[in-house]
Each structure stands twice: as structure tokens, then as C-alpha cells.
């Protein structure tokens, strides 16, 4: 299947090479030249298990792998990694339905794709005869980093280097990364925010060239991240029908806590593949750049950046929006480049009314600050005994503002125990000093069991203490790549 770059549509490749490259050479993102239909009938959609559905969707979006490879990748990649039988769980609490995507190895939704990415990558290397080793470079707002580390640690012929904002992730997120074992692993803090880390990493892709090592991406700029995420939108839909909350064929909305726009874009792709999706609610925290964009058509990053209680959404440059803009511009790469140049140079761009009509046909936006998200956590706990994390809470609080028609599924992206201190604060409880004490207290108060793998972090040794400036990223990456050779 043809994948093309958003910044030069003549730059064409297939799914294997798009997964290996991550980012296109021209700085653009790869997208399917034509989004294919899912090919799922009602009977099929309703009868498939999570793994079977993932295999089907990946087979359609990444056809060059072939059916047997995809089967192996999904089966092996997901095996024994999840603490619910169906990989994900749909839970109904009061008027809300939550798709819990955090039952994997790192307790955040990033696992849904990252459990598969190393296998997608090594299979692509062998199928294309790429002789290089692969160094995975990742900028993280907190959750991608750990999920990628967990996935790539000690995978032969690969290395993984993760950059996180030194002061911009939760204590648990930081510890998860700093204690990561593996001979091929590097973890480094950045003096700056996520956008600084992401910009630095994108620059390293362009600047760093080490013979025998190709750089790869575990961020949602990689279609190997995006495509597995499409599957759970189909699964949520099927599960809503099986739970008798939805008639088959009826439209279903999704409320998605958004940062880099990857998760929600996967929902849009599901819609374009034929899933009856109504609105995609782009839920932002106080960093409401996307809310403002959806309202005004102006994307303006010249604004204050806030550290919030939902750190994985503290992002002002939402990379995957570029993919949507590209489709919305009728694949006019020149026009897209104009917008991206404005963003990089002036710090803002204005989308045309036609482009905004295209976007607003499928998306709406709302934002909720910490106070509003905390109120949602408290209310849902007290009324329904349902405990959610701070990111999910943003998506839940936004529901009241957006006033969507019809049924909606809220994507629940992280375990509340990843953000225990904030969740305790939301519940009106005193927050103990250390993060493990907070975890224990939250468990004691709510009776919701904490994930074993978060509790056991306490016994682990911190192995990674590097902190550098964004300007030092290139050198750091070059050294890491040389060590891998």
C-alpha cells in the first residue's frame, strides 16, 4: 500500500519502509495515500477477539507484512502482557462508558501500540533486507518513554534512547524510566518541556548520520504507533453493541484526552475506514491550543506553557495534526508546507474556512483545567465508585461542555495509580510525602487494587541520571548510535 509524505507527496514508500523510517526525509509524516475500507461486516466485527481485530486492522493498513507475520507480531507482542483477558476493558459508570486502555505493562494506553512496535520494526527490517541496526529515538511527555523502553529493552540489533522533560513528568513516570534495565537502553532528562524534547529529537533525525545505524521513532509520528491504535476504536464499538448500549449502525462518539493528537487521529482513521463514528471530542487540559484552534482556525503556539496534573497532555505542538491538515487540504503538500513554515517561523498559522469545515465535520474541542478534572474524579468516585486518572478526567470533564448528541465512549488512557498524588488531592484527601505512600493511601481509601508493577518500582535501583540541554541532544544521540554499532 502506498504511503506518502505530508510535505512532499511524490515521496512515496510502502508500510514496511514507513515503519522503519518513522519520519520522512523531508520532515513530513507518512500517511496512506488512500485510506482503505476496513472490510469488516457486522458479523465479523462482532465476533472477533481483540487480537483478531488488531490482526485484521493491521493487515489492512500494513499489507506488506503479510498475514502470517502480522499474526505472529500480534500474538507474540501481546501475549502475557495484560492484566485483563480482552487486553482492554469497556466499563460503564453512570451515564459514561470508559474504554480502559491501561492494562498493559506500563499502565498507559501507549502499550497498545508499543507492545507491537519492536516486532513491526524488526520484521520490516528483515522483509526489506535492511542491514542496519536500529536506534529508536523517542521524546516523551511521560508515558511513551517507559512503554518504548519496556518494549525495546534487550531486543537484538536495536537500541533505545529516550528524552523526557526533566521537570515535566510525574514521580512515578520518572522512576519507571530511570530504573529501566537493558544493555541497549539510554534515558536522559532534558532541561525544557516536551516540545523542546520533541523538536530536538526531530532535529537529530535530520542531523545525525552514523554508518550502519538507522534512526527509528517510537513516537506517534511513526505509523507503526498509529495503526495499532485504530483497532481499539473498532473494538470499543463492537463491545458497546455487545453490551447492548448501542445499536449496530448507530453512530458512536469518542472523547479523547489529547496531547500529540495521535490517539484521536487513530479514531479518525477508523471513521474513514468505515466505522460509524460520530464526533471525536478533542479534550485538552489548560494547554488548550487545540481547543482554540478548533474554535478560531488559528493555531498559535505563542502562549504560556503550563505544567498540569495531566502531564502527558502538556504539549503545544501536536505533531499528528499535520496528517489531518494534509488530508483536509486535499493532499496539497505545498499548502501544508506553508502552514508548517508559518508555525516554525512565526509561531502560528491560520487555516482556511474550507479546511476548518473539513476538520469540524468530524472533530469538536473542549478543555478542562485541573480544578475541573479533579471535580470530575471526585464526583464519579462518590456517585459511581469509578476511579479515573487525571488524563481520563480531562476527557470526562470536557463531556459536559461539549454536549455531544448520542452515545460516547471516553478513552481512559492511564491507571489512576500513575498519578496517585493528584488523584488523592482530587478526592479531597491529604497527600503524603512520597509517591509510594500516596499509592498505598489511594489503594487503602478506594479499595481499587494498584497494578503490581507500579508498586514494585519501590524496590528498583535508579540507573539513569543524565540531564542535558536540548542543544546537546545531537551529540548524545550520536554517541548512543556509535555505541550500538
Ligand X SMILES: *Cc1c(COP(=O)(O)O)cnc(C)c1O
- Give the residue with the Cβ less far from ligand X, 65 or 102: 102
Least Å from the CB of residue 82 to ligand X: 16
Least Å from the CB of residue 331 to ligand X: 23
Catalytic site residue from 21, 110, 418, 450? 110
- Give the residue with the Cβ less far from ligand X, 222 or 260: 260
Asked if 257 and 20 count as a contact pair (C-beta separation under 8 A), the reply is no
277 strand-pairing partners:
252
- Give the residue with the Cβ less far from ligand X, 193 or 214: 193
Q: Using the structure block, give the residue that is written with the C-alpha cell 493528584.
A: 422
| Nearest alpha-carbon partner for 175 in 404, 441, 442, 455 | 455
Give the orientation angle of helix 117-128 with respect to helix 143-152, to 10 degrees.
50
Least Å from the CB of residue 313 to ligand X: 5
Residue 385 DSSP symbol: -
Query: What does the binding site for ligand X look like in residue numbers (CB under 6 A)?
Result: 108, 110, 143, 220, 257-263, 312-313, 391, 413-414
Cα angle 146, 147, 149 (rounded to 5 degrees) comes to: 60
Separation of CA 236 from chain center: 17
189 strand-pairing partners:
164, 467
Q: Please classify residue 223 by burial: count the beta carbons closer than 10 Å to its beta carbon, then call 0-12 exposed, 13-18 middle and 19+ buried.
A: buried
- Give the residue with the Cβ less far from ligand X, 163 or 261: 261
- Give the residue with the Cβ less far from ligand X, 15 or 260: 260
The three grid cell numbers given for residue 178, joined into one nine-digit string: 530511570
Q: Using the structure block, give the residue that is written with the C-alpha cell 513491526.
A: 120
- Mention every residue, 6+ apart, whose C-beta is less than 8 A from residue 194: 139, 140, 141, 165, 168, 314, 315
Least Å from the CB of residue 262 to ligand X: 3
Least Å from the CB of residue 136 to ligand X: 17
Least Å from the CB of residue 143 to ligand X: 3
Is 110 an active-site residue? yes
Separation of CA 190 from chain center: 20
Catalogue the active-site residues. 110
Amino acid at each position: 500500500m502506498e504511503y506518502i509524505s505530508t510535505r512532499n507527496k511524490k515521496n512515496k514508500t510502502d508500510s514496511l519502509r514507513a515503519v522503519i523510517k518513522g519520519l520522512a526525509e523531508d520532515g513530513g509524516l507518512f500517511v496512506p495515500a488512500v485510506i482503505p475500507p476496513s472490510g469488516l461486516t457486522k458479523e465479523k466485527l462482532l465476533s472477533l477477539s481483540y487480537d483478531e481485530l488488531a490482526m485484521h486492522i493491521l493487515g489492512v493498513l500494513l499489507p506488506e507484512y503479510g498475514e502470517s507475520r502480522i499474526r505472529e507480531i500480534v500474538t507474540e507482542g501481546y501475549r502475557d502482557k495484560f492484566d485483563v483477558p480482552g487486553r482492554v476493558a469497556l466499563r460503564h459508570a453512570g451515564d459514561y462508558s470508559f474504554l480502559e486502555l491501561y492494562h498493559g505493562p506500563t499502565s498507559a494506553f501507549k502499550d497498545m501500540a508499543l507492545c507491537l512496535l519492536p516486532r513491526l520494526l524488526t520484521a520490516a527490517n528483515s522483509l526489506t533486507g535492511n542491514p542496519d541496526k536500529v536506534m529508536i529515538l523517542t521524546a516523551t511527555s511521560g508515558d511513551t518513554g517507559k512503554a518504548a523502553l519496556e518494549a525495546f529493552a534487550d531486543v537484538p540489533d536495536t537500541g533505545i534512547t529516550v528524552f523526557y522533560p526533566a521537570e515535566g513528568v510525574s514521580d512515578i513516570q520518572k522512576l519507571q524510566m530511570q530504573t529501566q534495565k537493558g544493555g541497549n537502553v539510554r534515558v536522559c532528562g532534558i532541561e525544557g518541556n516536551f516540545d523542546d524534547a520533541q523538536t530536538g529529537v526531530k532535529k537529530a533525525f535530520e542531523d545525525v548520520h552514523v554508518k550502519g545505524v538507522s534512526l527509528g521513532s517510537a513516537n506517534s509520528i511513526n505509523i507503526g504507533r498509529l495503526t495499532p491504535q485504530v483497532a481499539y476504536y473498532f473494538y470499543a464499538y463492537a463491545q458497546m453493541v455487545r453490551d447492548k448500549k448501542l445499536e449496530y449502525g448507530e453512530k458512536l462518539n469518542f472523547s479523547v484526552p489529547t496531547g500529540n493528537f495521535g490517539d484521536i487521529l487513530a479514531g479518525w482513521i477508523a471513521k474513514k475506514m468505515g466505522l460509524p463514528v460520530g464526533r471525536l471530542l478533542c479534550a485538552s487540559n489548560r494547554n488548550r491550543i487545540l481547543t482554540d484552534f478548533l474554535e478560531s482556525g488559528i493555531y498559535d503556539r505563542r502562549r504560556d506553557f503550563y505544567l498540569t496534573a495531566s502531564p502527558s497532555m502538556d504539549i503545544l505542538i501536536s505533531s499528528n495534526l499535520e496528517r489531518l491538515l494534509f488530508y483536509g487540504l486535499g493532499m496539497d503538500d505545498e499548502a501544508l508546507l506553508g502552514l508548517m513554515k508559518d508555525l516554525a517561523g512565526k509561531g502560528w498559522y491560520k487555516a482556511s474556512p474550507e479546511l476548518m469545515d473539513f476538520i469540524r465535520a468530524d472533530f469538536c474541542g473542549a478543555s478542562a483545567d485541573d480544578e475541573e478534572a479533579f471535580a470530575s474524579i471526585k464526583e464519579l468516585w462518590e456517585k459511581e465508585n469509578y476511579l479515573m486518572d487525571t488524563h481520563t478526567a480531562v476527557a470526562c470533564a470536557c463531556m459536559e461542555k461539549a454536549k455531544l448528541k448520542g452515545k460516547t465512549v471516553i478513552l481512559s488512557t492511564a491507571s489512576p495509580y500513575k498519578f496517585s498524588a493528584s488523584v488523592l488531592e482530587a478526592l479531597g484527601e491529604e497527600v503524603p510525602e512520597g509517591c509510594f505512600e500516596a499509592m498505598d493511601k489511594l489503594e487503602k481509601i478506594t479499595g481499587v487494587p494498584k497494578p503490581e508493577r507500579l508498586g514494585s518500582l519501590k524496590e528498583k535501583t535508579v540507573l539513569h541520571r543524565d540531564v542535558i540541554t536540548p542543544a546537546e541532544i545531537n551529540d548524545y544521540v550520536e554517541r548512543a548510535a556509535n555505541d550500538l554499532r
